[in-house]
Structure 1
């Protein structure tokens, strides 16, 4: 504390903290086994591009066989080490055991997956000849890279690659929606070039069955291309190998659109234009941001005109979300769901904001109505036969295709249902991997190929993400399945959730023994360390737009509240429930 000098004002808002960087140190000439082991593990947490310093702790033969890019194991607190033997083994070597609690694994495609369970790997040291005599080196390193969760989140940067959604029911035609495929690249090691290489390599295994890349199979950067960077006009030139030489103009522009959306946030000023080049250096095609939006309009970054909720009369009302209506007071929507004739307990508004679906106050019936004055409501499109209100229909959800989803929680006949274009005979969706759990909530991503489910099992509710697969030819009634359910936010019991971007959700829940919190999670299960949002009392429901410029909306003990960017929670009305954005 200073004890002299004038009092001077300082800026209230400080700039972002400089990221911590770890610079690895090579082994000392006389380093003992504990120092070799610790030095190697610390080198794994550094920004060394090819782990060259970490390899200096290995024997020459071990360095050739060690492939750090093939897998990464993430532990809760980093690896603990202990010597297995009090002295040298029969061959004069020494064995250490690495232990810890696993939280995730990252594969060779840079895809993250939560895992649970103990980690145990051995690491063996031996003596080799060095310039100063015998030196300890590791001749049996652990598989891949092992590090703690805090180090992983410091070193690795999340990136969304984009691919076009594919649909076998459309006779193989590409749909125009783009699907975010989250991967992780080392943030200080040329992330732009890493990301482009990952995009060209294709989608991750989990997402691959439902998306397509417009880059021809085998497309890579031209041999000899070491680094990519935009010029002073924010234009990026990407030289490709021969596999892409013969693509047509239409396909090339779709390739460029994938690339532009993928690298959008990887440079300080962004990339305004991308040029793809043939293997001989000639221009293949050029695409700018405006053209990319027209080629692949991203429904994951829509601009809804309104936010919606139910007022104290159980009517659907709306308030300004963006554009000319921003800041307007809540008002009943036009059409039958806003006139109060049918009391509602939950709603969903189509993404084009032309229709809405509402569940009756008793939870028994699902209605679909137009948001146009003078329209009539019609009969229920789905009816639950459950005796208890808590066992009936969930809040419905619209996907980007215009299809409507809802779950019936009837214990005698639990079903996940889909109505094509919000009408017709409901399709029962086959759901694999529930393991006896019951679906309590459904939210379909805008791309229509991923669905978030709240599943209740053994008295606890968890968040799971599934892949939506459709089978059937054009004009046929499709068979729809949700497959390969995986946990997201595995440490939390989740009570409410909403999609909040291409690969992100906002969830309400609590960890074991903790208090209720609101936070962002990635759909692959990563819980970002800085994702916790300001607290709120008794949150029951939450809604987010895929456009992160729009505020969160929640139903809490304080009523309907909003959280604008950079501000605190603000009460909209004290009486209201079921807040939603279109979707």
Structure 2
């Protein structure tokens, strides 16, 4: 599959879409009868590695190993895998109850007459909607009961769903985003999913969109088209996908503009799709100013990873706010008079201007003001996390004294955010909003050093909360910093796995695709990180700033000495 916007890690599976209200669509049928779709998400019959059937006289351990290998097949209904089961088990086994992904270093071991145990590291699980949940470092263990049937050993009690080795899962599944809408109705929000590759993937992707966002994301995004259905399978001809919907709820005409944006951004991730035609009850949807065959260029304003052109890197040096060239930022913040230790800046994509600056002075005072103007103190505390911004709202967030999440609107007073579970998870040392403002990445102190969590920002009327904080990289310990590389991926600084010190990693927001980044070019271990979509990641190493370009860390200004500084940040 070609490179996809906002998705980290190795390529693997599909899904995504639907939601919210805006105006603009004019051609919308008002009613119709739903039409049943058959074989919505079935994979093709011949993708992937051909599974091998059991050989005569195979031992119980060989039968179990063969069954695990055969579950990596993408052939519909896994007929070869069923040959390793007893007649009754083959008839009752369900291969559609999700996927359990285990480490490749496993071995079937006979533990008793008629019992074979499989033990491995649990990489994670994928549910029926293609949502991946990373394993928390626990061990996967299952004991297969095996019996003699017609003189051959066969499995009598297989686990429901598929069990696949991590390399097989990576090979047979593709990862894509199901896109929903942020609460401001201005950009699509990625919801990573995994589905088997194949000819029906466009239908499977739209089907997952219609089913709605993943449980952890539901409260943070909009999905007003809940209940809509596909009238027929998605047809892809000459790289144009035709999506025919039915059963839209009352008032859906106002939501079709966003629906079109979501469908186009989601389906554009597929190799065989370059444009989308949207229909309702067989009639083309008319959106003013948008052609009947739509591409992401027609919905560029909904780009999940859009960053204003004015978003150039800033950092702090000697208490002063500076820009990436080393020049001081305008106004008193750039003179060093405030003694800043960190800062964040909002950016307005419509005017291409920088807006509010929030800085931490001396680590204990929060200052707020217009970019280039005077900053005034608004809060004091024992400590604040480095401030953070999102591209969808003119506000800045921070955490006071490790437990109290604070948001500072550009035209209002600081407000406490409801994050009731945070104090019980540990003291927060880093808190970073995603570019769309729907998620938050948090580093909390734990028994094994810093731990990385990701939660969902939920907005309801005047109430704002951070919910469902969960570990997405349990393999990493001693986490010291995190930044959003895209709307669906993170750059993390954590304990190096092969040696001492700290190293950079990249990981998907769901925990999939954890991979180390090279430290080539760095003068020492990195201690802080800054990132934004379509911008080079920045780190602080040896007290100086470095940017990652073409896989190598270089100085901020080509050909010049590294600049001394800390707390790198991109305005959003």
* Range class of TM-score, shorter chain: 0.7 to 0.9
How far 1:487 sits from its partner (Å)?
Answer: 0.5
Deviation by residue 1:452-505 (Cα, 9 ceiling, x = unmatched): 111012361011001122333xxxxx3322221110221112111101112100
Q: Structure 1 residue 545 and structure 2 residue 566: aligned?
A: no
Which residue does 2:132 correspond to in 1? 112
Which residue does 2:29 correspond to in 1? none
In 2, Cα distance between equivalents of 1:37 and 1:137: 8
Query: Can you give the 5+ residue segments of structure 2 that lack an aligned partner in the other structure?
Result: 1-9, 13-46, 287-291
Query: Which has the greater radius of gyration?
Result: 1
Structure 1 residue matching 2:393: 3-state secondary structure: coil
Deviation by residue 1:278-326 (Cα, 9 ceiling, x = unmatched): 44x33245333233224xx33532244343333544322223xxxxxxx
In 1, Cα distance between equivalents of 2:185 and 2:217: 15
- Give runs of aligned pairs for residues 100-139 of structure 1, distance below 5 A: 100-115=120-135, 116-128=137-149, 134-139=151-156
CA RMSD of aligned residues (A): 2.9
Which residue does 1:14 correspond to in 2? none
Higher relative contact order (CA 8 A, sep 6+): 2
How far 1:397 sits from its partner (Å)?
Answer: 0.7
Q: Structure 1 residue 254 and structure 2 residue 252: aligned?
A: no
Deviation by residue 1:512-537 (Cα, 9 ceiling, x = unmatched): 664432121111122435x5344432
Match for 1:526 among 505, 512, 516? 512
Which residue does 2:181 correspond to in 1? 164
Deviation by residue 1:156-215 (Cα, 9 ceiling, x = unmatched): 22211111124xxxxxxx633322111112245654343222222211111112222243
* Higher mean C-alpha deviation, range 484-493 or range 243-252: 243-252
Which residue does 2:374 correspond to in 1? 376
Structure 2 residue matching 1:381: 3-state secondary structure: strand
Q: Structure 1 residue 316 and structure 2 residue 321: aligned?
A: yes
- Give runs of aligned pairs for residues 352-431 of structure 1, distance below 5 A: 352=348, 353-372=353-372, 375-377=373-375, 379-384=376-381, 386=382, 392-399=383-390, 400-409=392-401, 414-421=403-410, 423-431=412-420
Which residue does 1:66 correspond to in 2? 93
How far 1:274 sits from its partner (Å)?
Answer: 1.1
* Higher mean C-alpha deviation, range 510-519 or range 392-401: 510-519
Match for 1:274 among 270, 273, 276? 276
Which residue does 2:21 correspond to in 1? none
Number of positions where the alignment pairs a residue of Structure 1 with one of Structure 2: 509
In 2, Cα distance between equivalents of 1:499 and 1:370: 24
- Give the conservation status (yes or no) of the 8 Å contact 1:308–1:579: yes
Which residue does 2:187 correspond to in 1? 177
- Give runs of aligned pairs for residues 381-530 of structure 1, distance below 5 A: 381-384=378-381, 386=382, 392-399=383-390, 400-409=392-401, 414-421=403-410, 423-458=412-447, 460-472=449-461, 478-493=462-477, 494-511=479-496, 514-515=499-500, 516-529=502-515
- Give the conservation status (yes or no) of the 8 Å contact 2:358–2:366: yes
- Give the conservation status (yes or no) of the 8 Å contact 2:443–2:451: yes
In 1, Cα distance between equivalents of 2:121 and 2:129: 23
- Give runs of aligned pairs for residues 91-106 of structure 1, distance below 5 A: 94-106=114-126
C-alpha change, 1:366 and 1:246, in structure 2 (3 Å) is closer
In 2, Cα distance between equivalents of 1:418 and 1:142: 47
In 1, Cα distance between equivalents of 2:518 and 2:166: 20
In 1, Cα distance between equivalents of 2:358 and 2:139: 46
Which residue does 1:169 correspond to in 2? none
In 2, Cα distance between equivalents of 1:43 and 1:315: 61
Structure 1 residue matching 2:486: 3-state secondary structure: coil
* Higher mean C-alpha deviation, range 338-347 or range 439-448: 338-347
Query: Can you give the 5+ residue segments of structure 1 that lack an aligned partner in the other structure?
Result: 1-16, 87-93, 167-173, 320-328, 387-391, 473-477
- Give the alignment's TM-score, normalised by structure 1: 0.80
Structure 1 residue matching 2:481: 3-state secondary structure: strand
C-alpha change, 1:299 and 1:179, in structure 2 (3 Å) is closer
